[in-house]
Structure 1
Amino acid sequence: MPVELAVVILTYNEADHVAACITSVGWADRIVVFDSFSQDNTPALAQAAGAEVIQHAFEDYARQREAALQAVDADWILFVDADERSSPEQAAEIRDLIRHGEHNGYWIPRHNYIFGKLTRHSGWYPDYQLRLLRRANAHYDMERQVHELVNLEGEPGYLKTPFVHYNYTSFAQFRAKQRRYVQYDARMLQQQGIHPKPHKFITQPLRQFIWRFITLQGYRDGWHGLRLSLLMAWYEFQKYVHLRRLSSADR
């Protein structure tokens, strides 16, 4: 018989995070670590912490989440990343919503800690993620391999209580992930038939900086907000550099 609520944690080499994540969701009816054949001791640590472990080869995030939806028998699925933490307050809100709410899915806000600092501006809050899903009424769009898109029956609702997300702990981690996003986003632009016009190398990074630092009030985070806004502007520039390389290769 399916349980009412299962937490699914996608992992790959998450030995530093998985046990603490499992502890934070100990209130769930079932906890499943859906592992992409980690090369460290993530599976053993997960089992020691009380979770089930299912291993499934990774293709992309959308397919991995969809595979978890198919594999884990529960009325509701709550996806939690290994570097995220739940709380008793969130548990109480989720229990109430799945029993009395009117939606088939719920967006969950996140408190992002970047380089060890809670980041409330520059676009990192509320940072809603559609993670609480009534299993029978939700599927992932296979065309969106990154920044996954859920096809949900009906309009989703919103939680008030956030995840705590220990996002980027170092600049090296931030840089590596942004480089992957740059490459993916550039490919998406290429597939849409967009070519990098010369002025875009200036206007798009400038717009990114103004949007994050002024419109999204990154200035309220002081030097931290300024640094993040400048970094995101730089990676916007890098996106168009990569798009130019892709366009040149097609000629």
Structure 2
Amino acid sequence: MLKNISVIAVVYNEGHRIETFLKSFSWSDDVIVVDKSSTDNTREIALKYTENVILVPYSDTGDEIKYGLAQAKNDWILTVTASDLIHPKLVKKIIKLINTKDFDFEVISLPFAIYVFGIRNPKRSPWGLVNKEWLIKKEVLSPSKEVHKEMEHNSKKIFKMGFSETENLYHLTHESMETFLERHTRYTRCEALKYNDEKTAFRSSLKELLRSVYEVFIKKRSFLLGWDGLALGLAYISYFIFKYLFIWEKFRGKGSTEYSKIKQDIIKLWEDESKIK
């Protein structure tokens, strides 16, 4: 096992894939799993590979990683998810970097290959080729409160690793429409709840929605991939549609109160009707 890097993953109901994930990161001597009270066998499987399994209350606030950070024993922190796998050669490159005598960086931006619904196309997919600043020195990082942004840092000493066809950190997400809808519902609901001002919330979400449409149809032109590209593009845009609708529901939704009133009125009418009989 290799020292110097602590691996932290926040998980929820990942029993179907956490074993593969843990095997991929077994090179680290400090793998920490923060389990958000999974209702499946996630915790039982994780305990087969690491003793550092922390059970915390369910939440999608984004700052659950703080529990893992408190127990991390190494100088470098790598934050990942159960969707991630890492290529062995990338690990070797990372270890060589951080053990170089004159390596004066505090953040390493890792090459990130994203697969969505089993499709990867950096040129056309809105989930394209990116680097992730996920390997950070403990002394400069702090937990983020944003969904999908586990860590933040205040360093300008960032080393960006080059992308290759194979030697990357792989993110295999949304294996089915069922998981896509379940996760996007959880994530966008949580994002909507963080807003306190109605005007700010609507302006921000509408701006994001319009930007996603631009990303899909103008910048990436995902439709040039055919039916696959159209599916990827619509799925990408739908995230921001969900977010807008949850914001609308929070500030202007009337379903619950209106339906309750109608039910009470109808029941009262039936009660009055029974009295007449």
> What letter is aligned with 2:118?
G
Within the alignment, does 1:232 sit opposite 2:227 as a pair?
no
Provide, for residues 119-138 of structure 1, a one-character-per-residue CA deviation record: whole Å limited to 9, x for no partner: 42333122433211111221
> What letter is aligned with 1:102?
D
Q: In the alignment, which of 247, 252, 258 is matched to residue 243 of structure 1?
A: 247
| Contact persistence 1:7–1:31 (CA under 8 A) | yes
1:249 to partner: Cα distance: 5.8
Structure 2: distance between partners of 1:181 and 1:34: 18
TM-score by length of 2: 0.74
Residue 29 of structure 2 corresponds to 29
Aligned pairs, number: 243
| Contact persistence 2:61–2:190 (CA under 8 A) | no
More displaced, 85-94 or 172-181?
172-181
Within the alignment, does 1:99 sit opposite 2:99 as a pair?
yes
Runs of 4+ in 1 over 6 A off after TM superposition: none
1:187 to partner: Cα distance: 4.1
Gaps of 5+ in 1: none
> What letter is aligned with 2:228?
H
1:19 to partner: Cα distance: 1.5
Percent sequence identity is 22
| Contact persistence 1:213–1:226 (CA under 8 A) | no
Within the alignment, does 1:159 sit opposite 2:161 as a pair?
yes
Determine helix, strand or coil for the equivalent of 1:71.
coil
- CA separation of 1:190 and 1:119: change in aligned 2, threshold 3 A: farther
Residue 132 of structure 1 corresponds to 135
Gaps of 5+ in 2: 255-277
Structure 2: distance between partners of 1:238 and 1:79: 26
TM-score by length of 1: 0.81
Provide, for residues 213-238 of structure 1, a one-character-per-residue CA deviation record: whole Å limited to 9, x for no partner: 33024245332121221233344344
Residue 183 of structure 1 corresponds to 189
Structure 2: distance between partners of 1:75 and 1:207: 38
Structure 1: distance between partners of 2:251 and 2:97: 48
Provide, for residues 78-101 of structure 1, a one-character-per-residue CA deviation record: whole Å limited to 9, x for no partner: 122112101111101211222233
